[in-house]
């Protein structure tokens, strides 16, 4: 069965141009928060054409493109747009997999695969008709998802590529290794160390050689996909709920760090409860800048801490563990952090959980009602109040407004937030938030 891979072009930036026609044709940068010290999380095709790289700092972007327009990311708007896009694509083809906010995979019947570029044009026409011609995508078709993704990325923006197994390796021989999905800088270094510096060298690998270079079966799966044979992957299992946040300069002191970490923890706890799971570990992490190393360049400053506890799902248990970590950080953190992360992991479900033999028993009705049970009830009630009256309806302790907003509702690679993550009733998609700096 053939695969179709659809990848939207500069999605966040073109989404803003779609909703605000005044931005069309202009270099646009989407930033995570309204601060002069942040960087772009997406740039428009106009900015790319002027030589700006993705993830450029705001100062760098302004130096290269003085008239660049910056808008603050609106994750709830992008998620609503994504959901409407899926509905439109479904009028042409069933969506088999959603890989990210701007990437989807469709499985093609033989009759659909034979349509080739005509099918791609029909999908693009449906998107332009239902939205606007600024919201473009690039499409690849191939025997496997990996090859189809390569095809989608070959002719951006608004491109199309049909990759046939019989045309390999010649059709892709011009691609650099880093242009292939799954080949990171580190993996490229491993391939180079094995004497592989181009696509043809990668193509000539044997499956077992690929497994050895990757250090796992993933290398053999990559080899199969590259050679036109679909490789099954095990279903992903949720292993953690976590959030991180880059901090503005005025939020890097101990008190503001604590406020931000607490809000991240509470948000992760809400997501955990919606999944009907419990956590047994909490990790707290900070990152700083970089420190020079004598021979190996620079090393990023990191500090991490972890707590373990009995399976829990309540905010009180998580915040208690977090406060222990923050106390340890205050005593031992050797640098001024630029970002903070909190992760709940060691997940278990109720059916796989062993009860606490030493919990108190309520002899009045024969049910377990220890302190943890009571805090779980409190967390459940607070979740219901927030769902009914908005995220600001109630909080466990003082509530802070963290710069950038969208706590727990930011789009990340491979994760698209649920509407429940946003809480509030949606504002107009057309209310663009321009940077004030």
- Residue pLDDT, tens place only, 234-270: 777 788 998 888 888 888 888 889 999 998 999 899 9
Q: What is the pLDDT of residue 357?
A: 54
Q: pLDDT band for position 366 (50/70/90)?
A: very low
Q: pLDDT band for position 48 (50/70/90)?
A: very high
Q: pLDDT band for position 414 (50/70/90)?
A: low
At 67-113, the pLDDT tens digits run: 999 999 998 899 999 999 999 999 999 999 999 999 999 999 999 99
Q: Which among 246, 270, 222 has a CA at the least distance from the CA of 386? A: 270
At 268-291, the pLDDT tens digits run: 999 999 999 999 999 999 998 655
419 or 70, higher pLDDT: 70
What interhelical angle do 185-193 and 207-214 show, nearest 10? 120
At 184-223, the pLDDT tens digits run: 999 999 999 999 999 999 999 999 999 999 999 999 999 9
- Whether the per-residue pLDDT at 232 is higher than 70: the answer is yes
């Amino acid at each position: 069965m053939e695969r179709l891979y659809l990848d939207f072009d500069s999605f966040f930036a073109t989404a803003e141009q779609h909703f605000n026609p005044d931005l069309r044709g202009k270099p646009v940068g989407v930033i995570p928060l309204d601060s002069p010290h942040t960087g772009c999380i997406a740039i428009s095709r106009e900015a790319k054409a002027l030589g700006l790289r993705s993830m450029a700092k705001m100062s760098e972007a302004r130096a290269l493109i003085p008239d660049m327009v910056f808008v603050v990311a609106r994750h709830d708007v992008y998620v609503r747009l994504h959901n409407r896009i899926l509905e439109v694509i479904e009028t042409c083809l069933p969506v088999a997999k959603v890989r990210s906010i701007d990437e989807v995979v469709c499985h093609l019947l033989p009759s659909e695969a034979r349509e080739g570029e005509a099918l791609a044009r029909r999908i693009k026409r449906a998107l332009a008709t239902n939205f606007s011609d600024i919201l473009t995508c690039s499409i690849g078709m191939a025997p496997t998802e990996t090859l189809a993704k390569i095809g989608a990325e070959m002719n951006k923006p608004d491109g199309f590529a049909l990759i046939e197994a019989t045309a390999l390796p010649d059709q892709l021989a011009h691609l650099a290794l880093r242009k292939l999905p799954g080949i990171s800088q580190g993996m490229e270094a491993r391939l180079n160390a094995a004497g592989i510096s181009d696509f043809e060298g990668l193509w000539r690998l044997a499956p077992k050689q690929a497994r050895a270079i990757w250090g796992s079966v993933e290398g053999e799966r990559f080899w199969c996909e590259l050679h036109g044979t679909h490789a099954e992957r095990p279903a992903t299992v949720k292993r953690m709920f976590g959030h991180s946040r880059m901090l503005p300069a005025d939020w890097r002191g101990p008190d503001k760090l604590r406020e931000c970490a607490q809000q991240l923890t509470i948000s992760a706890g809400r997501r955990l409860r919606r999944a009907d799971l419990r956590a047994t570990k909490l990790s707290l992490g900070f990152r700083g800048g970089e420190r020079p190393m004598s021979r190996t360049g620079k090393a990023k400053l990191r500090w991490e801490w972890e707590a373990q506890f009995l399976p829990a799902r309540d905010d009180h248990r998580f915040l208690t563990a977090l406060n222990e970590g923050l106390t340890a950080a205050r005593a031992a953190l050797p640098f001024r952090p630029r970002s903070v992360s909190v992760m709940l992991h060691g997940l278990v479900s109720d059916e796989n959980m062993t009860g606490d033999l030493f919990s108190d028993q309520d002899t009045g009705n024969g049910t377990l009602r220890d302190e943890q049970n009571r805090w779980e009830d409190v967390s459940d009630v607070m979740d219901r109040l927030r769902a009914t009256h908005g995220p600001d309806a109630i909080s466990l302790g003082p509530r802070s407004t963290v710069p950038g907003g969208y706590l727990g509702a930011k789009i990340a690679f491979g994760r698209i937030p649920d509407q429940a993550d946003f809480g509030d009733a949606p504002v107009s998609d057309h209310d663009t938030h321009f940077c004030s700096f």
